[in-house]
Amino acid sequence: MTHLILMRHGQSMWNAAGLFTGWVDVPLSPTGIDEAREGGRAIADLAIDEVHVSTLIRAQMTAMIALSEHRGGLTPVFQYPTEVEAGMSENETRMREWAQIRGEAGKEGILPVHVAWQLNERMYGDLQGLNKQATREQYGDEQVHVWRRSYDVPPPNGESLELTAQRTIPYLEHTLLPSLHDGNSVFVAAHGNSLRSIIMHLDGLSREEVLALEVPTGVPIVYDLVDGALVRSSTTDV
């Protein structure tokens, strides 16, 4: 059975502190580390052929901790393109050139890990780093609720869920789905809103229905590829 496994990162340090995070690169809290490990145990026996993570450390930590519980026996290795692009810095060029596996023995037993900014959390704009409760007190519960939960209204200088979907869905359609249809089981570690937009697309949710969708931290959501279509596994629920 080919699977698509989606997992929201475990609790971050700013989640615990009640701060808006967005694209601020904050690591997991001790609770988040435990959540990632528990989520990893839940998928320890599912096939995983490749991994996709956002650029943010909390998603990458979640993936690596979860995979430490996996029984597949493969070594996660972050993948870097081999080609050098115009305008790249010397360090970026060196990373692409020097991070490649040379020995044939090292190419065996590899679990490729791909980093994609398209999977990043919704960018919260001017709210990033603000205390959530203090923001409610300043702007009112209703306004903050609109910024956080509406489909097409972004926070000041930030992204709405609709705008987030404009980068996550093409990544799903052009990168993840082709790999799944090639027979590869895929593990994605990302964020609440980037995953909400993907689940909205996969489950055919309306703009109104997605507003009530909550993606819990550290809990894997599994889809099975059945007759060419992704179907939510009966063993998982949101």
Would strands 186-190 and 3-8 be described as parallel, antiparallel, or unpaired?
A: parallel
Sheet (strand 186-190) strand order: 75-78, 110-115, 50-53, 186-190, 3-8, 220-226, 229-232
Under 8 Å between Cβ of 214 and 85: no
User: Would you give per-residue pLDDT tens digits along the chain (238 residues)?
Assistant: 999 999 999 999 999 999 999 999 999 999 999 999 999 999 999 999 999 999 999 999 999 999 999 999 999 999 988 887 888 899 989 888 999 999 998 889 999 999 999 999 999 999 999 999 999 999 999 999 999 989 999 999 999 999 999 999 999 999 999 999 999 999 999 999 999 999 999 999 999 999 999 999 999 999 999 999 999 996 554 4
Q: Do the beta carbons of residue 57 and residue 33 sit within 8 Å?
A: no
3-74+109-232, which class in CATH? alpha beta
Alpha carbon distance 161, 149 (integer Å) = 8
Tokens found for residue 208: 């109104």
Backbone angles phi, psi at 181, to 5 degrees: -70, -15
pLDDT recorded at residue 238: 44
Q: What's the confidence (pLDDT) of residue 110?
A: 96
| Helix axes of 57-67 and 30-42: crossing angle, nearest 10 degrees | 50
Is 76 in a helix, a strand, or coil?
strand
Cα–Cα distance measured from residue 34 to residue 28, given in angstroms and rounded to the nearest whole number: 9
What are 129-174's pLDDT values in tens digits?
999 999 999 999 999 999 998 999 999 999 999 999 999 999 999 9
Which residue is listed with tokens 């709210």? 127
What does the alpha-carbon distance between residue 213 and residue 109 come to, in Å, rounded to a whole number? 37
Measure the CA–CA gap between 54 and 116, rounded to whole angstroms. Answer: 5
Asked if residues 225 and 46 have their Cβ atoms less than 8 Å apart, the reply is no
Residue 175 three-state SS: helix
Q: What residues act catalytically?
A: 9, 121
Question: What is the model's pLDDT at position 234?
Answer: 66
CA–CA dist 88, 92 (Å, integer): 6
Q: Please give the model's pTM, rounded to 2 decimal places.
A: 0.94
- Cα Rg of the chain (Å, integer): 18
Which pLDDT belongs to residue 84?
79
For residue 237, the model assigns a pLDDT of: 47
